[in-house]
Amino acid sequence: MATRAASVSATDVVRQNLRGKKFSFGGIVFEAFLLLMLLTALAILVTLIADIVAGALPVFRERGVVDFVTSPLSLAGDTAGVSTAILGSVSLTAIVALVSFPIGIGAAIYLEEYASDNRVTRFIGTNIRNLAGVPSIVYGLLGLAVIVELVDVIGLGGPGTTNGRNVVAAGLTMAILVLPIVIITATEALRAVPSSIREAGFGVGATRWEVIRHHVLPSAAPGILTGTILTLARAFGETAPLLLIGVATGFFSAGAGASFFDQLTGKYTALPVVVFSWSRQPTEGFQDNLAPAAIIVLLVVLFTANAAAVLLRNRYERKW
């Protein structure tokens, strides 16, 4: 009798558990908390952008975007613009691309296509991962101690008292800074190419380089390109190492009559550095409006680059 009662109630419990909707208060609180964290991140992002847009709006409204983007640096708040900084950032990024892409992609090709899994290869791999984790300011020290001197010694030191503290040294430093990331993303893109592609190439008698050149690289190109665009965006927004290797943080004039060579090897500044120096400028309008306006220009460039990378990946990425 007792067992029968127990079994009935057990059946009821099971039935209820299977049918009834389970309501777990703790579970809902937990999920709500997690969602709240994610929404907090969103709120921070929205606040950040709204605050900066609000600060920048007067500048763009009164002077127009074109005027702000095409005016050179100035100490006067109503005429200061970012053309000098854009020029510096663009030449810096170009040098980064010219130096870091060939070396980075070459290194990735070696590690992924040529190297056998031996101690030297593993050491190089570990070394690259470690380099990727080194804080950017330490690369600034490398630039200060080695690259600036090197640039001066080989005759690219520039006019006057520049002594190698120019965009060439900055570009080389930044290229070394992003090199590990270029290698890692390019390696991943190469790894995504299935080995059957390579084997087919070897099967018809192609050498390893011919296989890479005609089959692996074209297949991996979208992935490599996406990664490298993101890397350039990173270099474009990086500030700290530049401060160490003598970027101009104040006002300077490039000199109207300076030759192209003098301009390239002379004083320079970059967009993120202008953001930095304007946000500590006590003069009226610099911190409140001009710095946000420069940030908007910086963010537009970076978001465009990111969007381009994503589009490129979605458009050309092949699923094997």
Tokens encoding 219: 């297949």
Burial class (CB in 10 A: 0-12, 13-18, 19+), 90: middle
Q: Give Cβ neighbours of residue 211 (< 8 Å, ≥ 6 apart).
A: 197, 198, 201, 202
For other proteins, which is the closer residue by CB, 261 or 303? 303
C-beta atoms surrounding 287 within 10 Å: 15
Maximum pairwise Cα distance, the chain: 108
How many Å apart are CA 247 and CA 166, to the nearest integer? Answer: 7
For other proteins, which is the closer residue by CB, 87 or 233? 233
Of 76-84, 87-95, 131-139, 252-260: span binding other proteins (CB under 8 A):
131-139
Tokens encoding 128: 């690259």
How many Å apart are CA 301 and CA 272, to the nearest integer? Answer: 12
Q: Which of 12, 15, 78, 106 binds other proteins (CB under 8 A)?
A: 106
Stretch 63-92: interaction string toward other proteins, x if CB under 8 A: ------------------------------
How many Å apart are CA 275 and CA 295, to the nearest integer? Answer: 6
Cβ of residue 264: shortest distance to other proteins, in angstroms?
A: 22
How many Å apart are CA 290 and CA 167, to the nearest integer? Answer: 24
Cβ of residue 176: shortest distance to other proteins, in angstroms?
A: 6
Stretch 221-260: interaction string toward other proteins, x if CB under 8 A: ------------x---xxxx--xx-x--x-----------
Cβ of residue 260: shortest distance to other proteins, in angstroms?
A: 27
Q: Which of 197, 262, 287, 312 binds other proteins (CB under 8 A)?
A: 287
Stretch 159-198: interaction string toward other proteins, x if CB under 8 A: -----------------x--xx--x---------------
For other proteins, which is the closer residue by CB, 75 or 307? 307
Q: Which of 8, 75, 98, 137 binds other proteins (CB under 8 A)?
A: 137
Burial class (CB in 10 A: 0-12, 13-18, 19+), 102: exposed
Is residue 134 a contact point for other proteins (CB under 8 A)?
Answer: yes
